[in-house]
Chains A and B, each alone.
Chain A
């Protein structure tokens, strides 16, 4: 059985985002990158299935992006993926979800993957389209936002999160694709022997040009912070000083003390 898990490397959300020079995406200076949180659930679930099925099952991790994404790939390998595909693309952020899913579909086509795991969405762009579009392009059965997963004899049984806390259970025949949601599992922390083993695992590098066939459908025209609508002030210090400060602000900025 062949399993694939697609991951994206995203900036840590605590980072300070600034628009890039063109004003269409964020500037990467001073950003810390990590594996997309939902993709970690996808990797964990894929690795659990890989361990359950044992010999004869192969789990590949795939990521698109510049060289820095190798860090995320290595983490997935250390968590237990067998091998990796790095689709090298220095302009990944300029591509829309349609192009990204087309690249993945083109890669997957004809390779005989039975089951694909992805995160339900990325933490940076958050389109939640790549997984489902890949499934559509490949003609795979698909379900999204799963919080429970089981696989037996060619059938995936997935628990989905629905509106208002309601859960639903779906069964899919492989080939299938699932997108993973928070609550599905607790991603493992790679052990040191596995980190060392991961260093020897194969990472196939493919230039994105080899797989890029689709044109852009949606263009990002602007990336900017929302307009400031005023903000709060947090005052700190001794109570006595705080009172003085509050009175000063009330006098200065409002009419209540006049």
Chain B
């Protein structure tokens, strides 16, 4: 007997027309549900996220079907991915049955679902169903028994999980009932290829043939109605993420990570800067709320949230969605709270880990822009002073701008005003210029350059703060003013390459200044030194040492510079013990987003938390390559009582100590 099964067995082909009508109706309800969301999304400002269509489609297909962003975090993610793939198989299988029954059989008189293919088809689908059920059980246990910290339980969770459970169970029961009446009696060997149905079939063996037929019919309709319910429920429950989260893989930005819209300050008709209400955000910012699955991965990784500050990136995304729906004219800042907004270090951990491609950081920055540009607000008086210092002296310390180049006295470099014929322009930054600890980094970097025969120039008193901290606080005006002055000065010289020791200067000059007309290659010294080593312009005499390395947010997550500093340290003789949170999962030092100028008044200290992670590796040395990180860690080691066990040093210091002496 050939291996196959009769589709619509016991149901009859008479069901086809009502079934299709009901199915289309359900899909109609679903589309209508999404259609109702349109006006809510459209409250936002226009934003083109439909350009480069092919690339977007490709990215969406890759991300959705590979599930790569989901299983990156195994807790919860692995269940989801396996459930997704098995459910996808079941969906594809059902589609195949539909095509066979309603197209191939009546139109072509061909039966695909027969023979060896049917056996494989049956087995794969049954196993997929079993796997899906197991994963669903995993969802249940995780959410209702284990209840990970921060994972909310809402009405949707009950509805969705029970609905999916019921669909899968009824699916197996129909199969079981059909097999009890057919395969189990006529072709038991074939039944082995339907292990789920075989098991479910045992429930029905005691029934009379008539009762079995009725039971099967009832189950079939029940299963069908549940599936209709599933489609209808999509736009109204968390199930919407099937479409919205997938859509976000299409809608995600193509701009370089960390890009912020450069406000046109020449536009005299502008009356609102930053986001005060929903309509000041983009439609994508509102859509993001619908794409959020409340997986709380952002919140788990937020350095502010995990040190008890009133910020949850997830909550902000949700609050925007709620405001768009219930009170679009309401104040965003009041809804989200100033404390939450000012707590953000713009470390991008939230955005990097988000499986739904939600853009958290720029929402916060747009709201900060409103606070700063429209209300003249600051996170604290110390920040007001620092910002005013940048205005007057071009540095947050308020030290004399004319003393900016003093650190370089007696070092082998030139000031551009006197001699601009140099290999690289070293954009020193405020910390390396004025802060004692970081001046040592600058001096060591110059030493390294000198050893490699690189002629370095600095701007000296012509250099100003790059503007990064004030920009991240929302002060686009001051940022553009200082940036314009820097750009004018730099452009006056024939600069071939700019190198920075500060990742914040690096991001700003390399990416943000492009919008303001600076188009000169910019590098961070981590990659620059690595290139010097690779080209053997610089050679090191390795000296063994054990260390752990801190990925600065603005190098790792923002600029994908992860391996180069590790390669340099390895050449220097270092043996690394990684922290749990490293590379893209690195944990911020606390100083990004302009927080370097602010006191950390709420919760516990982020820098101490990071220092604890470093000491847990057992390595006696923490290497960083950012002046903000270095400053916070020097501080965190002292206040966190780690002075006996840990030292923090900069990459340039490690390299400078190991420069090979040439014969």
Contacts and interface: CB of A to CB of B under 8 A. Distances in A.
A31 to B, nearest CB: 8
Given A12-B392, A32-B392, A34-B392, A192 B374 contact: yes
Interface stretch (A83-91, A183-191, A201-209): A183-191
Contact of B477 (A12, A16, A195): A195
B151 to A, nearest CB: 41
Given A12-B398, A16-B402, A32-B393, A191 B374 contact: yes
Nearest to A40: B388
A191 B373 contact: yes
Contact of B400 (A14, A190, A195): A14
Q: What DSSP secondary structure best describes chain A's contact surface? A: loop
A105 to B, nearest CB: 31
Contact of B398 (A14, A188, A191): A14
A193 B376 contact: no
B224 interface: no
Contact of A191 (B270, B375, B388, B401): B375
Interface string B628-644: 00000000000000000
B271 A15 contact: no
A32 B372 CA distance: 24
A186 B384 CA distance: 10
A211 to B, nearest CB: 29
Nearest to A189: B376
Contacts of B384: 189
A215 interface: no
B514 to A, nearest CB: 23
Interface in B372-398: 372-378, 381, 384, 387-388, 391-394, 398
Interface residues of B, number: 29
A77 B427 CA distance: 34
A188 B376 contact: yes
A30 interface: yes
A235 B477 CA distance: 42
Contacts of B394: 32
Nearest to A12: B392
A192 B373 contact: yes
A193 B403 contact: no
A170 interface: no
Contact of A15 (B268, B273, B388, B402): B402
Contacts of A186: 381
B402 A196 contact: no
B402 A191 contact: no
Contacts of B387: 189
B403 A16 contact: yes
Contacts of A196: 265, 268, 270
Contacts of A12: 392-393, 398, 400
Contacts of A191: 373-376
B391 to A, nearest CB: 8
B143 interface: no
Contacts of A189: 372, 376-378, 384, 387
B400 A30 contact: yes
A192 B400 contact: no
Contacts of B372: 189
Interface in B391-417: 391-394, 398-403
A185 B270 CA distance: 30
A88 B377 CA distance: 34
A62 B538 CA distance: 60
Contacts of B374: 191-193
Given A30-B401, A32-B400, A189-B384, 19 more contacts: A12-B398, A15-B400, A15-B402, A30-B461, A32-B392, A32-B401, A33-B392, A34-B388, A34-B391, A189-B372, A189-B376, A189-B377, A189-B387, A191-B373, A191-B374, A192-B373, A193-B273, A196-B265, A196-B268
14 contacts: A15-B402, A16-B402, A30-B400, A32-B401, A186-B381, A189-B377, A190-B376, A191-B376, A192-B265, A192-B374, A192-B476, A193-B273, A195-B477, A196-B270
